[in-house]
Amino acid sequence: MDPEPYRGELLAYCYRMTGSFHEAEDLVQETMLRAWKARDRYDPARASVRTWLYRIATNLCLTALQGRDRRPLPSALGTPSDDPQAPLTPAPDIPWLQPFPDTRLDTDTRSDLRLALIAATQLLPPRQRAVLLLRDVLDFTAAEVATHLATTVAAVNSALQRARAALADAGDPADITEPHDPHVRALVTSYARAFEAADVPALVRLLTHDAILEMPPVPLWYRGSDDYGRFMHRVFTTRGTTWTVRHLTANGQPALAAYAPHPDGGHHRHTLQVLTVTRGLVARNVVFADPAVLDLFDLPERIPAQKSGPPR
Protein backbone atom coordinates (compact mmCIF):
# COMPACT_ATOMS: atom_id res chain seq x y z
CA MET A 1 0.00 0.00 0.00
CA ASP A 2 1.80 3.09 -1.29
CA PRO A 3 -0.06 6.43 -1.00
CA GLU A 4 2.67 8.56 -2.62
CA PRO A 5 1.39 8.28 -6.24
CA TYR A 6 -1.79 10.07 -5.11
CA ARG A 7 -0.13 13.00 -3.36
CA GLY A 8 -0.50 15.43 -6.30
CA GLU A 9 -4.21 14.82 -6.91
CA LEU A 10 -4.90 14.93 -3.17
CA LEU A 11 -3.15 18.29 -3.00
CA ALA A 12 -5.41 19.64 -5.75
CA TYR A 13 -8.48 18.25 -3.97
CA CYS A 14 -7.60 19.76 -0.61
CA TYR A 15 -6.89 23.06 -2.34
CA ARG A 16 -10.30 22.99 -4.02
CA MET A 17 -11.87 22.31 -0.63
CA THR A 18 -10.02 25.01 1.34
CA GLY A 19 -8.93 27.62 -1.23
CA SER A 20 -5.49 27.69 0.40
CA PHE A 21 -2.37 26.10 -1.05
CA HIS A 22 -0.57 26.25 2.31
CA GLU A 23 -3.45 24.58 4.15
CA ALA A 24 -3.82 21.97 1.40
CA GLU A 25 -0.18 20.96 1.82
CA ASP A 26 -0.70 20.49 5.56
CA LEU A 27 -3.87 18.47 5.03
CA VAL A 28 -2.22 16.16 2.50
CA GLN A 29 0.70 15.62 4.84
CA GLU A 30 -1.73 14.69 7.63
CA THR A 31 -3.61 12.39 5.24
CA MET A 32 -0.40 10.55 4.40
CA LEU A 33 0.54 10.30 8.07
CA ARG A 34 -2.84 8.87 9.06
CA ALA A 35 -2.77 6.43 6.17
CA TRP A 36 0.68 5.22 7.21
CA LYS A 37 -0.38 4.75 10.83
CA ALA A 38 -3.50 2.84 9.76
CA ARG A 39 -1.86 0.79 7.02
CA ASP A 40 -2.29 -2.48 8.94
CA ARG A 41 -6.04 -1.90 9.04
CA TYR A 42 -6.41 -1.15 5.33
CA ASP A 43 -8.57 -3.76 3.58
CA PRO A 44 -8.18 -3.79 -0.24
CA ALA A 45 -11.36 -5.87 -0.50
CA ARG A 46 -13.41 -2.94 0.82
CA ALA A 47 -11.85 0.01 -1.05
CA SER A 48 -8.99 0.91 -3.37
CA VAL A 49 -6.05 2.82 -1.94
CA ARG A 50 -7.24 5.94 -3.79
CA THR A 51 -10.77 5.70 -2.39
CA TRP A 52 -9.42 5.10 1.11
CA LEU A 53 -7.10 8.11 0.91
CA TYR A 54 -9.87 10.41 -0.31
CA ARG A 55 -12.05 9.30 2.59
CA ILE A 56 -9.30 10.33 5.02
CA ALA A 57 -8.62 13.61 3.20
CA THR A 58 -12.32 14.50 3.02
CA ASN A 59 -12.81 14.02 6.74
CA LEU A 60 -9.72 16.11 7.48
CA CYS A 61 -10.90 18.92 5.18
CA LEU A 62 -14.39 18.99 6.69
CA THR A 63 -12.94 19.14 10.19
CA ALA A 64 -10.57 21.94 9.17
CA LEU A 65 -13.43 23.94 7.63
CA GLN A 66 -15.70 23.80 10.68
CA GLY A 67 -16.49 27.33 11.80
CA ARG A 68 -14.20 28.85 9.17
CA ASP A 69 -14.96 31.84 6.98
CA ARG A 70 -14.78 31.08 3.27
CA ARG A 71 -11.84 32.33 1.22
CA PRO A 72 -13.02 35.03 -1.21
CA LEU A 73 -11.56 37.23 -3.89
CA PRO A 74 -12.19 40.99 -3.48
CA SER A 75 -14.91 40.98 -6.16
CA ALA A 76 -17.09 38.89 -3.83
CA LEU A 77 -17.04 41.48 -1.05
CA GLY A 78 -19.00 44.41 -2.42
CA THR A 79 -19.32 46.85 -5.27
CA PRO A 80 -16.36 47.88 -7.45
CA SER A 81 -14.57 51.15 -6.82
CA ASP A 82 -14.50 53.99 -9.32
CA ASP A 83 -11.78 55.91 -7.47
CA PRO A 84 -8.30 55.18 -8.87
CA GLN A 85 -6.76 56.95 -5.85
CA ALA A 86 -8.56 54.85 -3.22
CA PRO A 87 -6.27 53.77 -0.34
CA LEU A 88 -4.61 50.38 -0.87
CA THR A 89 -5.16 49.12 2.67
CA PRO A 90 -4.65 45.37 3.15
CA ALA A 91 -7.25 43.39 5.12
CA PRO A 92 -5.17 40.65 6.79
CA ASP A 93 -8.16 39.47 8.83
CA ILE A 94 -9.80 38.06 5.67
CA PRO A 95 -8.64 34.53 4.73
CA TRP A 96 -8.01 35.32 1.07
CA LEU A 97 -8.15 32.77 -1.72
CA GLN A 98 -4.66 31.75 -2.81
CA PRO A 99 -3.37 30.79 -6.27
CA PHE A 100 -2.01 27.33 -7.08
CA PRO A 101 1.40 26.97 -8.81
CA ASP A 102 1.03 24.96 -12.01
CA THR A 103 4.39 23.34 -11.38
CA ARG A 104 2.58 21.27 -8.75
CA LEU A 105 -0.17 20.12 -11.12
CA ASP A 106 -0.58 17.62 -13.91
CA THR A 107 -2.13 18.79 -17.18
CA ASP A 108 -5.43 16.94 -16.65
CA THR A 109 -6.08 18.77 -13.38
CA ARG A 110 -5.55 22.37 -14.41
CA SER A 111 -8.86 23.11 -16.10
CA ASP A 112 -10.69 22.39 -12.85
CA LEU A 113 -8.61 24.87 -10.85
CA ARG A 114 -9.55 28.15 -12.55
CA LEU A 115 -9.57 30.91 -9.96
CA ALA A 116 -13.15 31.95 -10.69
CA LEU A 117 -14.34 28.37 -10.30
CA ILE A 118 -12.44 27.89 -7.03
CA ALA A 119 -13.85 31.18 -5.72
CA ALA A 120 -17.39 30.10 -6.65
CA THR A 121 -16.87 26.70 -5.03
CA GLN A 122 -15.94 28.42 -1.77
CA LEU A 123 -19.51 29.76 -1.60
CA LEU A 124 -20.85 26.24 -1.06
CA PRO A 125 -21.24 24.70 2.41
CA PRO A 126 -18.28 22.36 3.01
CA ARG A 127 -20.25 19.11 2.66
CA GLN A 128 -21.87 20.28 -0.59
CA ARG A 129 -18.41 21.30 -1.77
CA ALA A 130 -17.07 17.82 -1.02
CA VAL A 131 -19.98 16.15 -2.83
CA LEU A 132 -19.54 18.33 -5.91
CA LEU A 133 -15.80 17.71 -6.13
CA LEU A 134 -15.95 13.99 -5.42
CA ARG A 135 -18.77 13.40 -7.91
CA ASP A 136 -18.23 15.88 -10.74
CA VAL A 137 -14.46 16.38 -10.66
CA LEU A 138 -13.11 13.09 -9.34
CA ASP A 139 -15.83 10.77 -10.69
CA PHE A 140 -16.54 8.85 -7.50
CA THR A 141 -19.90 7.10 -7.46
CA ALA A 142 -22.75 8.36 -5.30
CA ALA A 143 -22.37 5.23 -3.16
CA GLU A 144 -18.65 5.89 -2.62
CA VAL A 145 -19.32 9.51 -1.68
CA ALA A 146 -22.05 8.44 0.71
CA THR A 147 -19.50 6.18 2.42
CA HIS A 148 -16.97 9.03 2.57
CA LEU A 149 -19.49 11.30 4.27
CA ALA A 150 -21.33 8.68 6.35
CA THR A 151 -24.63 9.53 4.71
CA THR A 152 -27.07 8.10 2.16
CA VAL A 153 -27.00 8.01 -1.62
CA ALA A 154 -30.20 10.06 -1.68
CA ALA A 155 -28.58 12.75 0.48
CA VAL A 156 -25.54 12.81 -1.81
CA ASN A 157 -27.68 13.22 -4.93
CA SER A 158 -29.68 16.00 -3.29
CA ALA A 159 -26.53 17.85 -2.20
CA LEU A 160 -25.06 17.48 -5.69
CA GLN A 161 -28.16 18.97 -7.29
CA ARG A 162 -28.06 21.97 -4.96
CA ALA A 163 -24.34 22.48 -5.52
CA ARG A 164 -24.69 22.39 -9.30
CA ALA A 165 -27.53 24.91 -9.16
CA ALA A 166 -25.46 27.23 -6.96
CA LEU A 167 -22.57 27.15 -9.44
CA ALA A 168 -24.72 27.62 -12.53
CA ASP A 169 -23.54 31.24 -12.90
CA ALA A 170 -19.86 30.49 -12.33
CA GLY A 171 -19.19 30.11 -16.04
CA ASP A 172 -17.86 27.23 -18.06
CA PRO A 173 -14.13 26.55 -17.52
CA ALA A 174 -13.96 25.58 -21.19
CA ASP A 175 -14.61 29.23 -22.11
CA ILE A 176 -11.21 30.15 -20.66
CA THR A 177 -8.46 29.47 -23.18
CA GLU A 178 -5.45 27.39 -22.23
CA PRO A 179 -2.32 29.42 -21.35
CA HIS A 180 -0.23 27.60 -23.96
CA ASP A 181 -2.66 28.29 -26.80
CA PRO A 182 -0.68 30.31 -29.39
CA HIS A 183 -3.26 33.11 -29.48
CA VAL A 184 -3.26 33.38 -25.69
CA ARG A 185 0.54 33.41 -25.57
CA ALA A 186 0.61 36.20 -28.14
CA LEU A 187 -1.95 38.22 -26.20
CA VAL A 188 -0.13 37.78 -22.89
CA THR A 189 3.16 38.71 -24.54
CA SER A 190 1.56 41.90 -25.85
CA TYR A 191 0.12 42.63 -22.40
CA ALA A 192 3.53 42.06 -20.77
CA ARG A 193 5.27 44.38 -23.24
CA ALA A 194 2.66 47.11 -22.67
CA PHE A 195 3.03 46.67 -18.91
CA GLU A 196 6.82 46.87 -19.04
CA ALA A 197 6.53 50.00 -21.20
CA ALA A 198 3.94 51.53 -18.81
CA ASP A 199 1.76 52.01 -21.89
CA VAL A 200 -1.73 52.36 -20.40
CA PRO A 201 -3.59 52.86 -23.72
CA ALA A 202 -1.98 49.69 -25.09
CA LEU A 203 -2.99 47.77 -21.95
CA VAL A 204 -6.58 48.98 -22.20
CA ARG A 205 -6.80 47.84 -25.82
CA LEU A 206 -6.06 44.30 -24.64
CA LEU A 207 -8.93 44.25 -22.11
CA THR A 208 -12.57 43.29 -22.43
CA HIS A 209 -14.95 46.20 -21.88
CA ASP A 210 -15.99 44.83 -18.46
CA ALA A 211 -12.55 43.59 -17.37
CA ILE A 212 -12.06 43.09 -13.62
CA LEU A 213 -8.95 44.02 -11.63
CA GLU A 214 -8.65 42.81 -8.03
CA MET A 215 -5.75 42.85 -5.59
CA PRO A 216 -5.88 40.56 -2.54
CA PRO A 217 -5.11 41.21 0.32
CA VAL A 218 -6.53 44.66 -0.54
CA PRO A 219 -10.36 44.44 -0.57
CA LEU A 220 -10.48 46.96 -3.42
CA TRP A 221 -11.43 46.06 -6.99
CA TYR A 222 -12.35 47.68 -10.28
CA ARG A 223 -14.66 46.73 -13.13
CA GLY A 224 -14.39 48.09 -16.66
CA SER A 225 -11.43 48.86 -18.90
CA ASP A 226 -11.64 52.61 -18.20
CA ASP A 227 -11.27 52.27 -14.42
CA TYR A 228 -8.68 49.52 -14.93
CA GLY A 229 -6.63 51.92 -17.06
CA ARG A 230 -7.02 54.81 -14.62
CA PHE A 231 -5.72 52.65 -11.80
CA MET A 232 -2.77 51.44 -13.88
CA HIS A 233 -1.89 55.06 -14.60
CA ARG A 234 -1.72 55.58 -10.83
CA VAL A 235 0.53 52.52 -10.43
CA PHE A 236 3.03 53.71 -13.01
CA THR A 237 2.98 57.25 -11.66
CA THR A 238 3.73 56.15 -8.11
CA ARG A 239 5.88 53.05 -8.69
CA GLY A 240 7.82 54.01 -11.79
CA THR A 241 7.63 53.13 -15.45
CA THR A 242 10.46 50.66 -15.95
CA TRP A 243 8.94 47.39 -14.77
CA THR A 244 9.91 43.89 -15.84
CA VAL A 245 7.93 40.67 -15.78
CA ARG A 246 8.46 36.93 -15.78
CA HIS A 247 6.01 34.59 -17.47
CA LEU A 248 4.55 31.60 -15.64
CA THR A 249 1.20 29.89 -15.09
CA ALA A 250 -1.09 29.45 -12.08
CA ASN A 251 -4.41 27.60 -11.74
CA GLY A 252 -4.12 26.60 -15.39
CA GLN A 253 -4.08 30.28 -16.41
CA PRO A 254 -1.37 32.59 -17.76
CA ALA A 255 0.38 34.58 -15.05
CA LEU A 256 2.99 37.30 -14.79
CA ALA A 257 5.39 37.95 -11.94
CA ALA A 258 5.74 41.74 -11.87
CA TYR A 259 9.00 43.33 -10.70
CA ALA A 260 8.98 47.03 -9.85
CA PRO A 261 12.00 49.29 -10.39
CA HIS A 262 14.24 49.48 -7.31
CA PRO A 263 15.79 52.80 -6.24
CA ASP A 264 19.22 51.15 -6.04
CA GLY A 265 18.92 49.68 -9.54
CA GLY A 266 17.47 46.47 -10.83
CA HIS A 267 13.98 45.35 -9.83
CA HIS A 268 12.29 43.96 -6.74
CA ARG A 269 9.48 41.42 -6.52
CA HIS A 270 6.12 43.16 -6.37
CA THR A 271 3.08 41.06 -7.37
CA LEU A 272 1.80 37.97 -9.13
CA GLN A 273 -0.84 38.67 -11.78
CA VAL A 274 -3.11 35.76 -12.76
CA LEU A 275 -4.89 36.54 -16.03
CA THR A 276 -8.18 35.20 -17.34
CA VAL A 277 -8.32 35.32 -21.14
CA THR A 278 -11.69 35.04 -22.87
CA ARG A 279 -12.76 36.05 -26.36
CA GLY A 280 -9.15 36.88 -27.21
CA LEU A 281 -8.82 39.57 -24.51
CA VAL A 282 -7.94 39.84 -20.82
CA ALA A 283 -11.21 39.60 -18.86
CA ARG A 284 -9.80 39.48 -15.33
CA ASN A 285 -6.54 40.13 -13.55
CA VAL A 286 -6.14 38.92 -9.98
CA VAL A 287 -3.06 40.61 -8.56
CA PHE A 288 -1.62 38.84 -5.51
CA ALA A 289 0.68 40.92 -3.31
CA ASP A 290 1.09 38.69 -0.24
CA PRO A 291 4.80 37.74 0.06
CA ALA A 292 3.79 34.30 1.37
CA VAL A 293 1.87 33.73 -1.87
CA LEU A 294 4.77 34.92 -4.01
CA ASP A 295 7.05 32.50 -2.20
CA LEU A 296 4.94 29.61 -3.53
CA PHE A 297 6.26 30.33 -7.01
CA ASP A 298 9.97 30.36 -6.10
CA LEU A 299 10.35 33.90 -7.41
CA PRO A 300 13.61 35.70 -6.59
CA GLU A 301 13.11 38.80 -4.46
CA ARG A 302 15.50 40.89 -6.55
CA ILE A 303 16.51 40.95 -10.19
CA PRO A 304 19.82 42.78 -10.60
CA ALA A 305 20.24 45.49 -13.18
CA GLN A 306 21.37 44.21 -16.55
CA LYS A 307 24.89 45.31 -17.37
CA SER A 308 25.24 46.63 -20.85
CA GLY A 309 28.09 45.08 -22.76
CA PRO A 310 30.17 46.52 -25.59
CA PRO A 311 28.36 47.03 -28.87
CA ARG A 312 28.58 44.13 -31.30
Q: Estimate to the nearest angstrom the gap between the alpha carbon of 88 and the chain centroid.
A: 21
Among 242, 296, 273, 225, smallest CA distance to 80 is for 225
Q: Give residue-wise pLDDT tens across range 195-234.
A: 999 999 999 999 999 999 999 999 999 999 999 999 999 9
* 11 in any annotated domain: yes
Distance CA 305, CA 303 (A): 7
Upstream peptide bond of 261 is cis (omega within 30 degrees of 0): no
- Tell me the CB-side half-sphere exposure of residue 141, using CA atoms within 13 A: 4
> Looking at the chain, which runs of residues are DSSP E strands?
207-215, 218-223, 244-250, 253-261, 267-278, 281-288, 302-303
The domain in which residue 61 lies consists of 1-68
Number of neighbouring beta carbons within 10 Å of residue 69: 10
Residue 180 lies in a domain: yes
Instruction: State the Cα–Cα distance between residues 145 and 54, nearest whole angstrom.
Output: 10
Residue 14: band (very low, low, confident or very high) from pLDDT cuts 50, 70, 90: very high
- Using CA atoms, how far apart are residues 136 and 140, in angstroms rounded to an integer? 8
Of the residues 28, 45, 68, which one is the last residue of a structural domain?
Answer: 68
Q: Report CA-CA distances (Å) from 94 to 77, 90, 174.
A: 10, 9, 30
Specify the CATH number for the domain of residue 199. 3.10.450.50
- Identify the domain boundary among 44, 68, 92: 68
207 to 66, 188, 249: CA distances (angstroms): 39, 11, 19
Instruction: Decide if 120 is inside a domain.
Output: no
> Over 60: is that where the pLDDT of 94 sits?
yes
Q: Above 80 in pLDDT, residue 309?
A: no
- Which CATH number covers residue 18? 1.10.1740.10
Task: Answer whether residue 163 shows pLDDT above 70.
Answer: yes
Question: Residue 82 domain-assigned?
Answer: no
Count of domains in the chain?
Answer: 2
The pTM of this model reads 0.91
Residues near 122 by beta carbon (within 8 Å), at least 6 away in sequence: 19, 70, 71, 72, 97, 129
Please state at what angle helix 49-65 crosses helix 21-37, rounded to 10 degrees: 130
Q: Which helix (H) or strand (E) holds 49?
A: helix 49-65
In a domain, 106, yes or no: no
Model confidence over 27-73: pLDDT tens digits? 999 999 999 998 888 888 788 999 999 999 999 999 999 988 889 99
| Residue 255 placed within a domain | yes
State in Å, rounded, how far the first CA of the chain is from the last one. Answer: 61
CA distance 110 to 107: 6
Predicted pLDDT at 181:
87
Domain membership of residue 293 (yes or no) is: yes
The Cβ of residue 115 has, within 10 Å, a number of other Cβ atoms equal to 24
274-297 average pLDDT score: 94
Determine, yes or no, domain membership for 42: yes
Domain boundary residue among 13, 37, 68? 68
